[in-house]
Structure 1
């Protein structure tokens, strides 16, 4: 999960204004970081509701 890419892109069929604040694990920085999720690439599981949920799964994995 944690090594998957950040779910990126804009899948909003309207004007791109819909965003949802989510968190993903940044492998390079070894930290969970917020991003504006627009609904793209929902099959990517590196997409958490909170920093705490991300850290519980991903911090200090090898």
Structure 2
């Protein structure tokens, strides 16, 4: 049997933290941020974690 390959797009987007939760990025952060209010931009800087229901699928893609 050949080895399963990891999904390279998922590897670039997600990182597993020490406690096992998965860190993710935020959408709408690339450009034209002047249309967003300051509270939205500030909220997008905070670290985000993947929902529990999606963790199993993402860990399978990363491994």
**TM-score bracket, shorter-length normalisation:** under 0.3
Higher relative contact order (CA 8 A, sep 6+): 2
Q: Which has the higher strand share?
A: 1
* Structure-1-length-normalised TM-score: 0.27
Task: Tell me which structure has the larger Cα radius of gyration.
Answer: 2
